Chains A and B, each alone.
Chain A
């Protein structure tokens, strides 16, 4: 059974750095063609893709946020980590991680999401 679960702080302060962890089970993040993305959704707004890391450690970032994002994986823990620097209240959102398998570039499994609030 494939599951993904996001974890991280619920509240962060203006200009701080956010670190979120996606713990994956039912598959290995290092298995060929496995990819994990981070996606966020501000309250009442649309979903927004942030970043992706592939099984071979290739990394891809949203054009608009790439200077603030770093994605990495810990294969020993089967986790994917996203860091976002210089937080602002507009970064308040539910952050999801989601899996992609293969080359169809769609998300077949999603985590439940974790709400992060940025306080000023």
Chain B
């Protein structure tokens, strides 16, 4: 079974830029995987950030952006703020109605 991979953790300074990636254990991510990204803080339900690779969900600040970088989907936070400290998850559509979550990336802002 194909695994969706993410960096387990990342650290960024306030005001800095960080890119979290979402890959496949076998193969490349493309727009046909409809990459989406979610932010989750402890004890809360996930919040939708990005869908269809690069479309920001309603109300999401434009410092969050999505793209395909090489063979992975990517979430970039430009000008990180303290309240961006969260877990970030990607989801990929694998075909045949199946979606798979990545293992999540814990972002620390310090």
Contacts and interface: CB of A to CB of B under 8 A. Distances in A.
Contacts of B93: 105
Interface residues on B, range: 20 to 34
Contacts of B1: 63-64
Contact of B45 (A62, A63, A104, A113): A113
Q: Which of B45, B46, B52, B100 is packed against the most chain A CB atoms within 10 Å?
A: B45
Interface in A11-65: 37, 39, 46-49, 52, 58, 60, 62-64
Contacts of A113: 45
A58 B98 CA distance: 12
B34 to A, nearest CB: 4
Interface in B88-103: 89, 91, 93, 96-103
Nearest to B57: A108
A48 B3 CA distance: 12
A49 B46 contact: no
B38 A107 contact: yes
Interface string A79-94: 0000000000000000
Contacts of B67: none
A11 to B, nearest CB: 19
Nearest to A6: B45
B52 A104 contact: yes
Contact of B97 (A60, A64, A110): A60
Interface of B: 1, 34, 36, 38, 40, 45-48, 51-52, 57, 89, 91, 93, 96-104
Given A63-B1, A105-B93, 10 more contacts: A49-B99, A58-B97, A60-B98, A63-B98, A104-B36, A105-B99, A106-B36, A106-B52, A107-B48, A107-B91
30 contacts: A39-B101, A46-B101, A46-B103, A47-B46, A47-B89, A47-B101, A47-B104, A48-B101, A49-B98, A49-B99, A49-B100, A52-B97, A60-B98, A63-B98, A64-B1, A96-B46, A104-B34, A104-B36, A104-B51, A105-B36, A106-B34, A106-B36, A106-B48, A106-B91, A107-B36, A107-B48, A107-B91, A108-B48, A108-B57, A110-B48
